[in-house]
Structure 1
Amino acid sequence: MSSVSILEQGRSLSLQLGGSTTRFHAVWLRDNAQDVDTRCPGNGQRLITLQDIPAYTRILAASIKGRVLSLMFAPEAKQVDYDIDWLLAHAYDRDHSRAPGWLGPELETWDSAMAGLVPSADFAGVAANPQALRVWLGQLARFGVARLEKGPVEDRSLFRVVDLFGYVRETNYGRHFEVRSEVNPTSLAYTSLGLQAHTDNPYRDPVPTLQVLYCLENSADGGDSLVVDGFRAALRLREESPEGFELLSRCCARFEYRGEDGVILRARRPMIELDPDGRLIAVRFNNRSAAAITDVPYDRMEAYYAAYRRLGEIVDDPAMAVSFRLEPGECFVVDNTRVMHARTAFSGAGLRRFQGCYADKDAMLSRLAALEEKLALEGAA
């Protein structure tokens, strides 16, 4: 059984469905009308501004037929039909209280127990099969890391990976960069040294949100890849030290890069970044690029450094890391706002050649959403 009741002299309504009740305000409903006078049928964008909706908008009449809610608004004398399932999917009459650092159900954190279970797919399979691509992108979005295997062993093959979901983000390093030992390197990544787990380019604002690392040669001893879920690390810090979590999420760190002539990149962001409503949205952790921290009050600086140290210890804990070795034609993609990557040191014997590039997560999520919608429609047909 379903019913609807007009409340507060038409300023809101109550929708009763199967024993549950959800309320909506008249102005919200009018703003979210899907009719052709309010939304462009082709792209869904609004054709009116909020100022075009009377401030004293009220609901004059309401009725339900099947899964459709029909409303009459005053003073426009405008009737609008709403899909009830759409309304329920966008309901806001719920408990909004959450602990700082909350994550949505679409994300899943992990630690070393995921060893051997890193999402992986065949390059040719995802390139040819939209369903396989949807699954692989869904795993990348959920876990923040995914591998591809059996790809071409050719220069700049990593661009073909990005072509699956988006566009290369060019930086001062170019459209891509070579990860191999150099004399007088502009970055420690271009040495045979081991690297602590880190996110890339924290000195940029905005930071590149996806990174691809593609193996073309790997005959050196060592040089294994490691990944650490920065969200799991941040939540572990919150469990151990709520004060430390609060300091690293409220006080900004500073990052800087000046490794080449004509380039000085600086950013000021917290190491643990939260939305205004407390959702955990990013981790920036890169000791090599950390600049002097000056945005923490004197009486909290020692506590800040203690939290910083503890976060580093958590990141370095072997129980947090998943390691694997990439062979030629294999690559991994990481959400650079979340997953830290590292490598073990490697010897001078043999060759280790990787290529890397950046892309943006919004394009990847767009491709995933479009695939999900298209495949759902095809399945329903």
Structure 2
Amino acid sequence: MHVTMDQEGRFLTLHAEAELRFHAIWLRDNAQDTETRAPGNGQRLIALRDIPDNTRIASVEAGETMVHVTFAPEQKSVAFSVEWLIAHAYDIKARADIGWLSDEISVWDAGLQADVPTAAFPSLSEDGATLAQWVEQVARFGFGKITGGPIQEGALFQVVDFFGFVRETNYGKHFDVRTEVNPTNLAFTGLGLQAHTDNPYRDPVPTVQVLYCLESSAAGGENMVVDGFACVRRLQEETPEYFDVLAQYCARFEYAGEAGVCLTSRRPLIELAPDGELIGVRFNNRSLAAVTDVPFDKMELWYAAYRRLGEIIDDPAMEVVFRLEPGEAFVVDNTRVLHARKAYSGTGTRWLQGCYADKDGLRSTRDALFRSTQEAAE
């Protein structure tokens, strides 16, 4: 491994397994020294305006594990870890495929039925390694199940405490899912529900949902989850123009099922980042409002694509089914994984409590647990 720099000092090249280039201004902005970054929290202490706009590399020296760079005109020397540079390299080939996914994501279908990410409530409470593994699986697969929890109202909040914080909505901090005589939402009936993402009419949507079972003596009512990312990628493989039209144009969603509430949003069914990464799916037939953002000459194509996506979502080959018993719960990434339930009978009881949280808490817990494990191993 060695390092070279261009004649003008605009960038350096790290010659490792691959050649990786780093601009002078990028390196200076990302310096890890105590004058640039706060030692306690790693936050940047300076703004870009504090760095000369004519910053260049005056000299560079490489050791086995560190690269030492001196910047002009400041004449400031900063050391960079080779490992850190490789981990943060941006001189890589851009992804050309639309709908690509991060390596942290694993798509799935009914084949995951025998390997549902599951952990026991007591173990999550007592064993950091179990919690770290379960949170990692939830982040990777978009859902996870918990068994052996307390059978008491509000126990779902203890589930959220494992990884984040409750997000309160017009439904309150939590909501009860059971039959009501005059329901404000079809979720509160015994009807079967098509797989869907929750609350697409919110902006932003709640990114994590928790459902916790307290009673389950009614026949039916099995829970079902479907990987939305797997579904839209299947759609893309079958008919690329279907994928494109659902990603290109916005749908509209609305909920006004109770007094004083009128929630609306305008988002595509398939959400892509500017570089083509697949980052979200919104699908909820109950809450779809009149679509008015698709041009006349594309509307029939949009509806054909919407229909086909629904057919793929309904395909049993895409679903994982499980029954929640009292004291069991599941957590779902509401930006990706659709959930549903089978119809259940009017005899017996079925009572679930649900609440929302946010994915940033889940990811934060995952990353913090990973870093603490690394530090303990060093």
> Under TM normalisation by the shorter chain, which class is it?
over 0.9
Please give the per-residue CA displacement for 1:48-67, whole angstroms capped at 9, x wherever unaligned: 11111111111010001220
Query: 1:56-205 alignment to 2 at 5 Å?
Result: 56-205=54-203
Aligned partner of residue 323 in structure 1, secondary structure: strand
Partner of 2:217: 219
Partner of 1:12: 11
Aligned partner of residue 259 in structure 1, secondary structure: coil
Aligned partner of residue 142 in structure 1, secondary structure: helix
CA shift for structure 1 position 8: 4.5
What is the alpha-carbon distance in structure 2 between the residues aligned to residue 356 and residue 8 of structure 1? 61
Amino acid in the other structure paired with 1:265? L
CA shift for structure 1 position 241: 1.1
Task: Figure out how many residues of one structure are paired with residues of the other and give that number.
Answer: 378
Partner of 2:280: 282
Please give the per-residue CA displacement for 1:292-325, whole angstroms capped at 9, x wherever unaligned: 0000000000000000000000000011011011
Amino acid in the other structure paired with 2:110? S
Partner of 1:362: 360
Amino acid in the other structure paired with 1:369? D
Amino acid in the other structure paired with 1:374? S
Aligned partner of residue 203 in structure 1, secondary structure: coil
Partner of 2:42: 44
CA shift for structure 1 position 72: 0.6
Please give the per-residue CA displacement for 1:259-292, whole angstroms capped at 9, x wherever unaligned: 0000000000000000011100000000000000
What is the alpha-carbon distance in structure 1 between the residues aligned to residue 151 and residue 203 of structure 2? 33
What is the alpha-carbon distance in structure 1 between the residues aligned to residue 281 and residue 172 of structure 2? 24
Amino acid in the other structure paired with 2:197? T
CA shift for structure 1 position 98: 2.6
Amino acid in the other structure paired with 2:10? R
CA shift for structure 1 position 97: 2.7
Please give the per-residue CA displacement for 1:92-147, whole angstroms capped at 9, x wherever unaligned: 11101331110011100000111121100000001111111000000000000100
Please give the per-residue CA displacement for 1:18-73, whole angstroms capped at 9, x wherever unaligned: 4x211111011001000011111111111111111111111010001220000110
Amino acid in the other structure paired with 2:216? N
Structure 1 ranges of 4+ moved more than 6 A: none
Query: 1:256-335 alignment to 2 at 5 Å?
Result: 256-335=254-333
CA shift for structure 1 position 379: 2.0
2:344 to 343, 346, 356: 346
CA shift for structure 1 position 221: 0.5
Aligned partner of residue 286 in structure 2, secondary structure: helix
What is the alpha-carbon distance in structure 2 between the residues aligned to residue 237 and residue 97 of structure 1? 20
Normalising by structure 1, what TM-score? 0.98
Please give the per-residue CA displacement for 1:145-174, whole angstroms capped at 9, x wherever unaligned: 100000000011000000111100000000
Aligned partner of residue 81 in structure 1, secondary structure: strand
C-alpha root-mean-square deviation of aligned residues, in Å? Answer: 0.7
What is the alpha-carbon distance in structure 1 between the residues aligned to residue 81 and residue 201 of structure 2? 45
2:241 to 243, 256, 260: 243
What is the alpha-carbon distance in structure 1 between the residues aligned to residue 96 and residue 170 of structure 2? 40
What is the alpha-carbon distance in structure 2 between the residues aligned to residue 233 and residue 97 of structure 1? 21
Overall identity of the aligned pairs, in %: 58
Please give the per-residue CA displacement for 1:188-240, whole angstroms capped at 9, x wherever unaligned: 00000000000000000000000000000000000000000000001001101
Unpaired segments ≥5 residues, structure 1? none
Amino acid in the other structure paired with 1:300? K
Amino acid in the other structure paired with 1:7? D
Unpaired segments ≥5 residues, structure 2? none
What is the alpha-carbon distance in structure 2 between the residues aligned to residue 340 and residue 221 of structure 1? 22
